[in-house]
Amino acid sequence: MKTNTNFKWQGYNFKNIPLVTYNDGLSYFSKMGGVSKVCKQYIKQKYNINVQVATESYSGGNSLRVYIDPLLITPEKYKIIKGDIDALFSYGKFNGMIDSYEYSNSEHIYNEIVIIHNDELIKDKVDFTAKYVFVNHDFKYGTKQYKEYYGGLNDK
């Protein structure tokens, strides 16, 4: 069953995150929509900036794309934020030298969260990662901000 959940993770509070419950509501997992909301709320709380986030799910895995405003964030700050996002939300990396995807340590992937359910505190390990994580110091293509930044492109 799908439920919107509030919980604490990495020292931050998250609200209305869609999680899927099983085992009579005692176990949880997240789909990519939940990963997107967690990523946005995490960045907002830690760095006090708003970002655009897009997710995709497909047969070979899933992806998380984060767009950081280039007008508000310096390249130095962007590198810090990018490293943080990669460390928390990516469950591995593609190694082009051997043409293989290398998974991270599983302890990194499953994050312990504290969920408030029916006035009870429940601890569970939930995966908030994506196979491919892309962090862009740019606006998302096709958005109003993108068009304004790049000189008002015409949609014809």
**Is 151 domain-assigned?**
no
Residue 58, pLDDT above cutoff 50: yes
**Is 57 domain-assigned?**
yes
Its domain, for residue 47, covers 2-140
- How far apart CA 116 and CA 138 sit, in angstroms, is 36
> For 7-17, what is the mean pLDDT?
87
112 beta partners: 125
**Is 156 domain-assigned?**
no
**Is 128 domain-assigned?**
yes
**Is 145 domain-assigned?**
no
**Is 36 domain-assigned?**
yes
How many domains are there within the chain?
1
Task: For 153, list phi and psi in degrees, rounded to 5.
Answer: -60, 145
Of 119 and 137, more confident = 137
Across all residues in the chain, what is the average pLDDT? 85
Q: What's the pTM value of the predicted model, to 2 decimals? A: 0.84
Write the DSSP string, 31-74.
-HHHHHHHHHHHHHHHH----EEEEEEETTEEEEEEE--TTTS-
